[in-house]
Chains A and B, each alone.
Chain A
Amino acid sequence: SQQGEEDPQALSIQEGENATMNCSYKTSINNLQWYRQNSGRGLVHLILIRSNEREKHSGRLRVTLDTSKKSSSLLITASRAADTASYFCATDVTSGTYKYIFGTGTRLKVLA
């Protein structure tokens, strides 16, 4: 079953603008991860944020986590055409076994 839901489903912005994607999930988690997928390819890990963290940065990426609202956001600043991809959140649920459950994804298009 799908644990996470990203919104928006699709986002189109101009190069240089910021892109914000949101992820909501249903159950308690150990951590939450964001991945990027270029068309028809494997997944690239972007960032992992643990359940006891509220914000994390990596280069142009900023991730926030609100466990009370069961939600996370991914901000890409100063976007580039190369950021065009689908972005997924994945939760590592606290079920005793580590299963990575993915959301439905946000398709980001950055226009040059």
Chain B
Amino acid sequence: SQTIHQWPATLVQPVGSPLSLECTVEGTSNPNLYWYRQAAGRGLQLLFYSVGIGQISSEVPQNLSASRPQDRQFILSSKKLLLSDSGFYLCAWGKGGFRAFFGQGTRLTVV
């Protein structure tokens, strides 16, 4: 069966520090991969999506970047975190026209 792993569950980082969040998928191949951010009490904002290795589309200009070094691995990064990067980050995978599967999310607090 397909599963998606996202870690860590919570993270507290100082302003200016780097960030690396990792997401891996099991049980499927060539998935579309997504990173979303959710501000407190708000909806999900699509940050990046990828349709294949090395193919990244950015939806919102920001202080973050994404990479897909392997078919089932999606990484969200920042060189220097800002206070405004705080939020709940969700990784997801899907395949054309079908439902999306979500990880459990990472709550990032930048202090």
Contact = CB atoms under 8 A, between A and B. Distances in A.
B75 to A, nearest CB: 18
B90 interface: yes
A40 B41 CA distance: 9
B65 interface: no
A98 B95 CA distance: 8
Contacts of B7: none
Interface in B18-55: 32, 34, 36, 41-46, 49, 51
A33 to B, nearest CB: 6
A30 B95 CA distance: 12
Interface string A81-112: 00000001010100001111111110100000
A interface: dominant SS? strand
Contacts of B98: 48
Contacts of B101: 45
Chain B contact residues: helix, strand, loop or mixed: strand
Interface residues of A, number: 24
B99 A88 contact: no
Interface range on chain B (Cβ under 8 Å from partner): 20 to 34
B61 interface: no
Nearest to A94: B97
B88 A40 contact: yes
Contacts of B45: 2, 102
Interface of A: 2, 30-31, 33, 35, 40-43, 45, 48, 88, 90, 92, 97-105, 107
